[in-house]
Amino acid sequence: MKNNYEHLKETVKPDVFTKWQEVDVVIYAFTDLGMNVAINDEYIGLIYRNQIYDNYKEGQKLKGYVKNVREDGKIDISLQPERGRYVFSTSDKILEHLKISGGKSMFNDKSSPEDIKKEFQVSKKVFKQAIGKLYKLRKIRIMNNGIELVE
């Protein structure tokens, strides 16, 4: 599989991508650091292991976001958009989860990071920001045993 990716450039000039620019990525290798991806079939990028919230396979095509172009020209990629937009999309996932669950869920800010990651594919921090946002918008109630939709 590696042969298909030998043409990729390892570094990029600073002005080629903008921060949080959406790009097409294809996973081509798993390393100790995380996943190596082909960006727009032109550059090599890295998604760090601690930012991978799902099971992925080599050859899988995804949307990615340019998190950073390092000083050495290497590109860090995120599978989630900029945090503000990410919290917004996570809020939508939580609302959908609540609708499917009949308006109540056992998930709340005391849920384990592992359970949150498994159900919503996000970190506990982003999950807490999203339920906080929904609470402020009066869309949910936060209880000791979970969260529920406000009628």
Contact 131, 142 (CB under 8 A): yes
Work out the angle between the directed axes of helices 83-100 and 113-120 (0-180°, nearest 10): 80
Q: Considering the chain, what is the average pLDDT of its residues?
A: 91
- pLDDT reported for residue 141: 95
Report for 1-5, 56-60, 85-89, 109-113: range of highest mean pLDDT: 56-60
Residue 93 pLDDT greater than 50, yes or no: yes
**CATH architecture for the domain at 2-78:** Beta Barrel (2.40)
Nearest to 74 by CA among 51, 47, 53: 47
Residue 2's pLDDT band, with cuts at 50, 70 and 90, is: very low
Positions of CATH 2.40.50.140 in the chain: 2-78
- CATH 1.10.10.10 domain span(s) along the chain: 83-149
Q: pTM for this one? A: 0.62
**Residue 82: pLDDT over 60:** yes
Which of 62, 70, 79 lies closest to 11 in space, CA to CA?
A: 70
Kindly report, residue by residue over 101-125, the tens digit of the pLDDT. 999 999 998 999 999 988 988 889 8
> What is the pairing mode between strands 75-78 and 22-30?
unpaired
Task: State the CATH architecture for 83-149.
Answer: Orthogonal Bundle (1.10)
The predicted pLDDT at position 50 comes to 86
